[in-house]
Structure 1
Amino acid sequence: MSGQDVAIVGAGIVGATLAAALAPHARVLLLEAEDQPGYHSTGRSAAFWSETYGGPAIQPLTSASAAAFATGGWLEPLGSLHIGRAEDEGRIDAFIAAFAGTAIPLRRVDPAALVPGLRPDWVHGVLEPSCAYIDVGGMHGAALATAKRNGAALATGARLEAAERREGRWRITTTAGEFVADVLVDAAGAWADAVAVLAGVRPLGIQPYRRTMAQLRTERAAPEGMAHVADIAGRFYFKPEAGGKLWLSPHDETPVDPHDVAPEELDVAIAIDRFEGVVDWRVTAVERRWAGLRSFAPDRLPVYGFDPQVPGFFWAAGQGGFGIQTAPAAAELAAALLLGRGEMPAGVDPARYSPTRFGVSRS
């Protein structure tokens, strides 16, 4: 068995885009535990691109991904309106100040002029016109196709059972068979720490959280061209979808163990209650509800880089809720680190996302 140069555990958006970036330069194997790539977080995303989402430490990766999204044709105009009550004025000011040194075109607006039926206590508004819908399926499919075209192999139903480093190579045991690779990449999302443990690597404390979404019908349909609306205090967001539908989230983060997560009725009820406190649109039906997993490292920044203790183990994990919008630049960054060559994405400092920031050095 000659093996691969790189085996990537996880074929969601992070693993797929990294495989596409690496495949022209290395022999790549994607190992996906499910029967279909993108079943968990990638397939359950709220699917919007916002340069402010995740905060100033995530913004460089999001902004550096813009060109790839434009080239792929994976964005459609949406816009984002950040709103607040009178007591949220400090949050609004801090939000604008946090991105003052960037090219993000934020501007103060009267939110009532943009959201019909907005309740009068929502007096503050900041418009982020560059926010856009993401064609997540198109982007993910294109990455997998690019990886395959350049020689990468994909094994589905290949849940990792064990990985052992011997004589400079990884011996990898999965439910789909055994494999050998020089480098093992942990792009397993909510299962990132579990994968590390199976490989004998110290976990970083990456915690999965449940995020709830609901698709609603309302008495008053969202007007054509209405922006995504987000609470500056982080208590909800909603956005219009085709056919007069509305996607709503209570912006919940409930810590859970990694699993095929499902929504809780209470979280859906909380979301609707918060929504009806924002606009006078009566909810007439909950057409669909679902939940996804978003996973964070302790400092809520993603982790890209070789583990400082175990040779040949590479982290590509902890992307929170911004893994899709940052995927092109993150893949470019990770590929450059893995290959030891190539330029970093413009404006991105790799040290900010290195696993060495957790204070563990190789003995």
Structure 2
Amino acid sequence: MIDFLIIGGGIAGLSVGARLSERGQVTVLEGEEALGYHASGRSAAMFAPAYGPPAVIALNFASAAHFETNDYLSPRGWVLIGGKDQHDVFHRDADQLGGRQISFDAAQSLIPILNPETVGFAAHSDSEQDIDTDRMMQDFARTIRGNGGSVLTRQSVTAIRKHRHWIVEATESFEARHIVNAAGAWVDEIAAMAGIAPIGIQPRRRSMARIPAPGGHDLRAWPMMLGAGESWYAKPDAGKLLVSPADADPTAAHDAFADDMVLAEGLARYEAMVTEPVTRVETNWAGLRSFAPDGSLVLGPDPTDPTFIWSAGQGGYGFQTAPAASQLVADLTVGNQSSLDTATIASLRPDRLHR
């Protein structure tokens, strides 16, 4: 008998599985051939503690010690870039993000390809950091296995029923005392199979292109670039540059791919702010970021059946909240006292969506 059956092998499922593996037998089911195949494997993955709604920010700061202890972070920072006609939106974003306005020359010293003819405003922060997402997922999986649990791929769930305990049909049949629904864009489908009311998750597409290093520059020390109005962003990655139109188009749960027109528009917005044209896109892809109706995470037992547990609605905050979010799910599941304040917990529990 499995104590905790986790459906979903992304960062949400692996982190919760690692926490719960200290309290019972854990099995993680991932439908794809590899862990983190969908949203987790397609994330820009920055640790930005002040980014997100209040409950997310609380989770970010509560996760900081885990990142530091495990040495998952490396310096990156960001520069917010506004065009000469973007005064209002630039200053709004700079205030919200907590950046310090800097001169064009200072910004160009950080990012040599910025275009003086088009860039009107810049702000900088050096507090945001890259997350080593692959090592983070593998460490959580290693913890599960080290505590006697299993992490299984190619296990797409096809049916769920309850007869005293949960019976989950995938490539194999599994019997479990608890289900943790960490299926990303598919969480409402999993809930429906189990006879649990959906929470109204909305998947939203985020597209990405990888281009060669602009002008042959060494990008290792470059900060992330953010277009004012969240109109595009670009981030160094393994000697290349990732560029996104920062799209958030509602869509159905599926194996997402980039929309060519949306990607082209985003690349054009990036190109307008730099001196190096995009001459080649090496590859492109898209991921699904999944949002609850109020934009915050959904964590903990379902109010109608406490043996069905949600770890959902991570949106664009999955990695940076994972250490604290997974600990909260485990605490709520086994009845431990959480270190988070009661208002934050209430704003994250699934109960709030069924009032």
> Could you state the TM-score of these two structures normalised by the residue count of structure 1?
0.89
CA contact (8 A) 2:245 2:263 kept: yes
Tell me the residue number matched to 2:268: 273
Paired residue secondary structure (2:339): coil
- Residues 146 and 66 from structure 1, CA distance in 2 versus in 1: closer, same or farther, beyond 3 angstroms? same
2:57 maps to a residue whose letter is: Q
Q: Which digits, 9 at most, give the CA deviation of each residue in 1:27-71, with x for residues without a partner?
A: 211111112211111111112222233344422212221111111
Question: 1:86, CA displacement in angstroms?
Answer: 5.5
CA distance in 2, matches of 1:354, 1:346: 13
Tell me the residue number matched to 2:15: 17
Question: 1:264, CA displacement in angstroms?
Answer: 2.0
Tell me the residue number matched to 2:144: 147
Tell me the residue number matched to 1:110: 103
CA contact (8 A) 2:85 2:120 kept: no
Paired residue secondary structure (2:311): strand
Paired residue secondary structure (1:352): helix
- Listed as ranges, the matches of 1:73-92 within 5 Å are 73-85=71-83, 88-92=86-90
CA distance in 1, matches of 2:32, 2:12: 15
- Residues 262 and 273 from structure 1, CA distance in 2 versus in 1: closer, same or farther, beyond 3 angstroms? same
- Residues 55 and 221 from structure 1, CA distance in 2 versus in 1: closer, same or farther, beyond 3 angstroms? farther
Question: 1:342, CA displacement in angstroms?
Answer: 4.1
1:238 to 221, 234, 240: 234
Most deviating of 80-89 and 229-238: 80-89
Aligned: 1:260 with 2:255:
yes
RMSD: 2.2
CA distance in 1, matches of 2:197, 2:31: 21
CA distance in 1, matches of 2:197, 2:236: 43
Q: Which digits, 9 at most, give the CA deviation of each residue in 1:140-166, with x for residues without a partner?
A: 001100111012222322211222223
2:52 maps to a residue whose letter is: G
- Listed as ranges, the matches of 1:19-168 within 5 Å are 19-85=17-83, 88-95=86-93, 98=96, 106-114=99-107, 115-120=111-116, 121-167=118-164
Q: Which digits, 9 at most, give the CA deviation of each residue in 1:205-232, with x for residues without a partner?
A: 1011111111112336365522101123
Bigger share in helix: 2
CA contact (8 A) 1:110 1:123 kept: no
Q: Which digits, 9 at most, give the CA deviation of each residue in 1:80-121, with x for residues without a partner?
A: 122334664444554565577xxxxx4332254223342344
> Could you state the TM-score of these two structures normalised by the residue count of structure 2?
0.91
Paired residue secondary structure (1:271): helix
CA contact (8 A) 1:186 1:192 kept: yes
Question: 1:347, CA displacement in angstroms?
Answer: 9.6
Q: Which digits, 9 at most, give the CA deviation of each residue in 1:254-301, with x for residues without a partner?
A: 222111111222122112101111112211211111111111111111
CA distance in 1, matches of 2:93, 2:13: 32
CA distance in 2, matches of 1:166, 1:344: 35
- Residues 22 and 223 from structure 1, CA distance in 2 versus in 1: closer, same or farther, beyond 3 angstroms? closer
CA contact (8 A) 2:5 2:29 kept: yes
CA contact (8 A) 1:89 1:124 kept: yes
Most deviating of 23-32 and 124-133: 124-133
- Residues 224 and 307 from structure 1, CA distance in 2 versus in 1: closer, same or farther, beyond 3 angstroms? closer
Tell me the residue number matched to 1:103: none
CA contact (8 A) 1:219 1:284 kept: no
CA distance in 1, matches of 2:21, 2:180: 14
CA distance in 2, matches of 1:257, 1:122: 37
2:153 maps to a residue whose letter is: T
Tell me the number of residue pairs that the alignment of Structure 1 and Structure 2 aligns. Answer: 350
CA contact (8 A) 2:232 2:269 kept: yes
Q: Which digits, 9 at most, give the CA deviation of each residue in 1:185-220, with x for residues without a partner?
A: 110001111111111111111011111111112336
Question: 1:72, CA displacement in angstroms?
Answer: 1.4
Tell me the residue number matched to 1:195: 190
CA distance in 2, matches of 1:99, 1:32: 35
CA distance in 2, matches of 1:223, 1:247: 11
Paired residue secondary structure (1:43): helix
CA contact (8 A) 1:193 1:205 kept: yes
CA contact (8 A) 2:204 2:288 kept: yes
CA contact (8 A) 2:53 2:296 kept: no
Q: Which digits, 9 at most, give the CA deviation of each residue in 1:127-180, with x for residues without a partner?
A: 22111111111110011001110122223222112222233x212222x22111
- Residues 156 and 274 from structure 1, CA distance in 2 versus in 1: closer, same or farther, beyond 3 angstroms? same
Aligned: 1:300 with 2:298:
no
Identity of aligned residues (%): 37
Question: 1:330, CA displacement in angstroms?
Answer: 0.8
1:309 to 293, 304, 320: 304
CA distance in 1, matches of 2:94, 2:259: 34
Question: 1:332, CA displacement in angstroms?
Answer: 1.1
